[in-house]
Amino acid sequence: MSKTWGGRFSGETDRRVEAFTESISIDRRLYRHDIRASQAHARMLGSVGLLTPEEAEQIVRALGDIEGVIERGEMEFSTALEDIHTHIERALIERLGDLGRKLHTGRSRNDQVVTDVKLWLREAIDAQDQSLAQLQMALLGAAEKNRELILPGYTHLQRAQPVLAAHYFLAYIEKFQRDRDRLADCRRRANLLPLGTAALAGSSLPIDRERVARELGFSGIVENSLDASSDRDFVIEYVFVLSLVALHLSGWAEEWILWATSEFGFLDLPDAYCTGSSIMPQKKNPDVLELIRGRAARVTADLQNLLMLVKGLPLAYNRDLQEDKVALFDANDIVESSLEMAALIVSQGRFRESAIREKLDRGFLDATTLMEFLVKRGVPMRSAHEAVGKLVRTSEERGCRLEDLPAEDFESVAPGSGGEVFKVLGVSNALAAFQSAGSTAPAEVNKRLEYSRRRLGT
């Protein structure tokens, strides 16, 4: 098969080189985007007189036919044709002869490939945003369903203070909202058309890049031709955002893996998203959660791959950039499937409320609220902290809760507190005492639930 660049060469390309340099095994998924960009390019060539209007429409129709061939699985892919762009152009020439050879007028594969990737990436961002929204909806549903449930909150994996389960789910809604905001920002920067900057310097032909940008839905054109073909900032930025999504998912998965253990006993995971053991018949393993956690490593590795790929590259196109799609598609596909699994597990997972309540008074979750009670009575914060620490030690020695201590123990650190102190002791009282904005106070949580409902359009 003849190359698109073969005129300079007198000998055949070594088959091993063809196998080494091909990208068709990776970039064939860009076929729709390549055809769409080529159709817009053909119409533009017709509008500026480099093609007749009839020729342009002939090319547009033939490209549509080629798209159908690919979708039906009827195109034979060959490493000799290197990439999806050459496959489509070769198929066009087979249909239209010399007219097909005119399509590449005023462009290069350098600007063609980055255009295709940008078209693909816009769709990928929109799809990931929808997946994130679906996960947020699942989290909101879980928050509503468990809005009265109190959980122990942790720092350093040690029991710290009580929080409403709804507050817990709202925390992840906020994390994933930041991810959605970052995706939107990434999309804005990616939404500039590089097509028509050609190999590196532009074209001497009277092409109309703004027309192509309008047809393809770009907000404008890349203004510097040297930058256009070498820029992969938008790819790196997208995979960076995906890395954060993956890390957020990994942290959540780790919590649920722990909470589903017998040691915690907080959660029942749905059978449909767990597996068993080939030797231990009692096992119910959280394999899906473990893979979500594990695959975050691949996504962050993809980001590192891309950062090292562009390190030290001179301006304009270098063949190194062919490798960007390996990391890009891998990170995208992992996060897409992980988000889908996460939404299903959140929707179907069930808290073991009785088990949680049974153990809720362990760990002195009301200690900080007791300290703040003393602060409100005029005790300096550091003094109050020390006093409550001593009361906790006394409770540990006696094997009881803070609320089980007699009134005189509290009088010894806060004279005149009397029975008032017991109004903030115990998990329910401690939680009810919260009042700061953004806290786990029931009124604050209700406000954020209502806000999340509005933001998510429910």
Q: Which positions are catalytic?
A: 156, 277
3-state secondary structure the chain: CCCCCHHHCCCCCCHHHHHHHCCHHHHHHHHHHHHHHHHHHHHHHHHHCCCCHHHHHHHHHHHHHHHHHHHCCCCCCCHHHCCHHHHHHHHHHHHHCHHHHCCCCCCCHHHHHHHHHHHHHHHHHHHHHHHHHHHHHHHHHHHHHCCCCEEEEEECCEEEEEEEHHHHHHHHHHHHHHHHHHHHHHHHHHCEECCCCCCCCCCCCCCCHHHHHHHCCCCEECCCHHHHHHCCHHHHHHHHHHHHHHHHHHHHHHHHHHHCCCCCCCEECCHHHCECCCCCCCCCECHHHHHHHHHHHHHHHHHHHHHHHHCCCCCCCCHHHHHHHHHHHHHHHHHHHHHHHHHHHHHHCEECHHHHHHCCCCCCCCHHHHHHHHHHCCCCHHHHHHHHHHHHHHHHHHCCCHHHCCHHHHHCCCCCCHHHHHHCCCHHHHHHCCCCCCCCCHHHHHHHHHHHHHHCCC
Closest-CA residue to 221 (of 202, 195, 184, 185): 195
Burial category of 278 from C-beta neighbours within 10 Å (exposed 0-12, middle 13-18, buried 19 and up)? exposed
Cβ atoms within 10 Å, residue 135: 28
What's the CA gap between 274 and 430, in Å, rounded?
36
What's the CA gap between 458 and 443, in Å, rounded?
20
